[in-house]
Amino acid sequence: MGNLPHFQLFIDGVWTEGSASQVMTSQNPATGQGWATFACAAPSDVELAIAAAKRVLDDPEWRDMTQTQRGKLLYRLADLVAENAKRLGELETTDSGKLLAETSAQTGYVADYYRYYAGLADKIEGTVLPIDKPDMHVFTLREPIGVVAAIVPWNAQMFLTATKLGPALAAGCSVVLKASEIAPAPMLEFAKLIEQAGFPSGVVSVITGDAENCAIPLTRHPDVDRIAFTGGPETARHVVRNSAENFAVTSLELGGKSPILVFEDADMDGAANGLIAGNFGASGQSCVAGTRGLVHRSILGPLVERIAEKASAIRLGDPLQPETHVGPLCTAAQVRKIEETLSKARGQGATIHFGGNAADRPGNYMNPTLVECASPATETLKIEMFGPVMSLLPFDTEEEAIALANSTPYGLGSGVFTQNLARAHRVSKRVRAGICWVNTYRAISPIAPFGGFNQSGYGREAGVEAILDYTRTKTTWISTAQEPMANPFIMR
């Protein structure tokens, strides 16, 4: 183990092993073998990171930096991310199992998120109020909300970091970024770019560690003003409880069981590609995975055949190789969970058209799987799979399709495939989800808000409104009267 690459924590501009000198080994999902080690934060390290973040808010180097200057730092960071996209992508692929083609391309595109917020940094404006009192000049300013705890999972971590770090830094906040203890290597490497970009020490610290020693002390700390969390609902409940200790403003981007509605007039190739992208893309390890395919009964058989034909060409293999379409899952526990869920679905009358089992090879590989469900109660339609499993369920009417789409406690993504423009508008409006893609799926942009309804969380990332969530409004009253303020006990 001594020859493996090692990654340190980045706290207040210093690279450190952490006060407890705790080291964990990261597993390569493609081989099942340890490939790197990383330092883990103890509560005292969390304390140091938060103290630095609080201190720098009053440091003239960051506090008095103009919004335009902050934007220039973000532009520099964007350039560094783009220049290092291949290196960061290789680390993320080795650490999490996601395809290199996806991780490197996504990291390169993430640079545009930092550029977007760099451009917005000096567009944060206040307002002069037409106040209803004479001799008063009243205006509002938007000030940085303060210390931000940004918590990201292992999947899509460069993207999910940018949606938090970009607006937070543009607004003038300081950030303690907590990477998942599963596959944290790219985030710890990314910290080098923060340093190279020239952000003052303490503005951004990057740490990782387990819940007890890292996440809990971070989210309940009294000096944390804002929590931006992406992860699962169960962990989110703990985050919300912890935030009761500090009343931190909290946003949650959680999981989902996103429906993809395919109507009888849909383009069959487009619908099949959308379902494949929504379920087998990123090996199904996506919070917006379209794992509930709702298909008009009249085209279910032909669509299954079309999907099976396309899926037969999918190459399962080494995620570092360009010819691979589906790589391993991040953890062996995911494979076990999927196999258990599929076993329950079979017992409920589901038909497995292809796949349905782990691949016979080293690593955490799951064969792409298509399940035709016997009823809405089928287990694969209820459990977030986080693997390459597509579940299809027939419907007969538009009303039934909408009812099935909304029969879930989640509400993150959704898709509609139809050639009928009126239906596209009608259905997309009624599906209860924060995102609806029509005749496409999994498209993202820094310009478009991202987030869910119900148990898929609250708050939005990306878009103009996200930057405002990292500010708070101050109202200033200035008397312009020539006379001094009147005696408050003499009423006129």
pLDDT class of 491 with cuts at 50, 70, 90: confident
pLDDT class of 3 with cuts at 50, 70, 90: confident
pLDDT(59) > 70:
yes
pTM of the complete model: 0.95
Question: What was the pLDDT predicted at 2?
Answer: 60
Question: What was the pLDDT predicted at 490?
Answer: 87
For 403-460, write each residue's pLDDT tens digit.
999 999 999 999 999 999 999 999 999 999 999 999 999 999 999 999 999 999 999 9
Residue count of the chain, please give it.
Answer: 492
Q: Which domains does the chain have, with CATH numbers?
A: 6-254+452-476 (3.40.605.10), 259-438 (3.40.309.10)
Average of per-residue pLDDT across 278-307: 96
Average of per-residue pLDDT across 466-476: 97
Average of per-residue pLDDT across 135-146: 97
pLDDT(294) > 70:
yes
Catalytic residue from among 102, 253, 379, 461: 253
Average of per-residue pLDDT across 60-64: 97
Q: Which pairing describes strands 14-16 and 22-28: parallel, antiparallel, or unpaired?
A: unpaired
CB 38 within 8 A of CB 210: no
Distance CA 328, CA 180 (A): 18
- Comparing CA positions, the residue from 490, 413, 416, 410 lying closest to residue 457 is 410
pLDDT class of 492 with cuts at 50, 70, 90: low
For 345-382, write each residue's pLDDT tens digit.
999 999 999 999 999 999 999 999 999 999 999 999 99
Average of per-residue pLDDT across 6-20: 97
Average of per-residue pLDDT across 310-332: 95
Average of per-residue pLDDT across 449-478: 96
Question: What was the pLDDT predicted at 334?
Answer: 95
Q: Which pairing describes strands 33-40 and 415-417: parallel, antiparallel, or unpaired?
A: unpaired
Within 8 A by CB and 6+ apart from 110, the residues are: 81, 85, 158, 159, 161, 162
Question: What was the pLDDT predicted at 291?
Answer: 95
Average of per-residue pLDDT across 215-235: 96
- State the amino acid at position 278 in one-letter form: G
- Report the run of H or E that residue 16 belongs to, with start and end: strand 14-16
Asked if 253 is an active-site residue, the reply is yes
